[in-house]
């Protein structure tokens, strides 16, 4: 008889949160997302950037703005499908400088969400591993999740893209874009006379 060792920690706290969140997709009724990226910067620098929540719209495509209310509270305004926005207040629930930041939306918020960002030393000379785990209850439940996917506002996709933008921004000072250099919506494969 073979036995398999299993981590019984909740998906948002597990060491293998990326894999478990992908496999589970949900924690109770909430959707769970886990992603990790390695950034060639010291963890204290990445922590400081993230801890100033007003920086996050620079790398989070769907975040219109974050109004920092005090050391623990912030108001998030996020793009939603069909040109709408949703907003909610979040509270920092755990803060270990240089190591982790955790937060959750306040009770009664339009979007029930929580998150945890861990900053871990990578192999020597490789920078920092940034492990992000998010849990959210999509507005309108499964229907809201389906609509978000349809309009490419689905948080699982956004988390991957946002961490890639964070890496680009912190390593190069800019975020690359696939948009036309002129700013116009045009097909880059189309030939012009």
Q: Among 13-17, 80-84, 85-89, where is mean pLDDT lowest?
A: 13-17
CB 150, CB 81: distance < 8 Å? yes
Q: Among 20-34, 42-56, 65-79, 171-185, where is mean pLDDT lowest?
A: 20-34
Angle (CA) 186 85 106, round 5°: 145
Which of these, 139, 142, 130, 167, lies nearest to 18 by C-alpha position? 130
Average pLDDT over residues 92-115: 91
Q: What is the mean pLDDT of the chain?
A: 76
Residue 2's pLDDT band (boundaries 50, 70, 90)? very low
The domains found in the chain, sorted by start residue, are 17-172 (3.30.530.20)
Q: CA 62, CA 78: separation in Å to the nearest integer?
A: 6
Torsion sign over Cα 165, 43, 32, 19:
positive
Q: CA 75, CA 105: separation in Å to the nearest integer?
A: 9
Coil vs helix vs strand at 145: helix
Q: What contacts 24+ positions apart, CB below 8 Å, involve 88-92?
A: 88/113
Which of these, 117, 87, 111, lies nearest to 13 by C-alpha position? 117
């Amino acid at each position: 008889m073979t036995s398999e060792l299993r981590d019984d920690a909740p998906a948002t706290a597990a060491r293998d949160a990326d894999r478990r969140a992908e496999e589970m997709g949900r924690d109770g009724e909430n959707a769970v997302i886990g992603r990790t990226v390695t950034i060639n910067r010291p963890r204290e620098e990445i922590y400081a950037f993230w801890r100033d929540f007003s920086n996050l719209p620079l790398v989070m495509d769907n975040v219109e703005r974050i109004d920092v209310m005090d050391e623990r509270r912030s108001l998030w305004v996020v793009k939603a499908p069909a040109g709408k926005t949703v907003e909610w207040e979040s509270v920092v629930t755990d803060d270990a400088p240089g190591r982790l930041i955790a937060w959750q939306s306040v009770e009664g918020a339009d979007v029930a969400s929580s998150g945890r960002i861990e900053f871990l030393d990578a192999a020597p000379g490789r920078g920092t591993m940034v492990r992000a785990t998010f849990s959210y209850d999509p507005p309108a439940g499964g229907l809201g999740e389906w609509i978000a996917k349809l309009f490419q506002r689905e948080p699982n996709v956004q988390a991957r893209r946002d961490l890639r933008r964070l890496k680009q921004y912190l390593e190069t000072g800019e975020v690359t874009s696939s948009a036309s250099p002129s700013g116009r919506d045009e097909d880059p494969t189309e030939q012009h006379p």
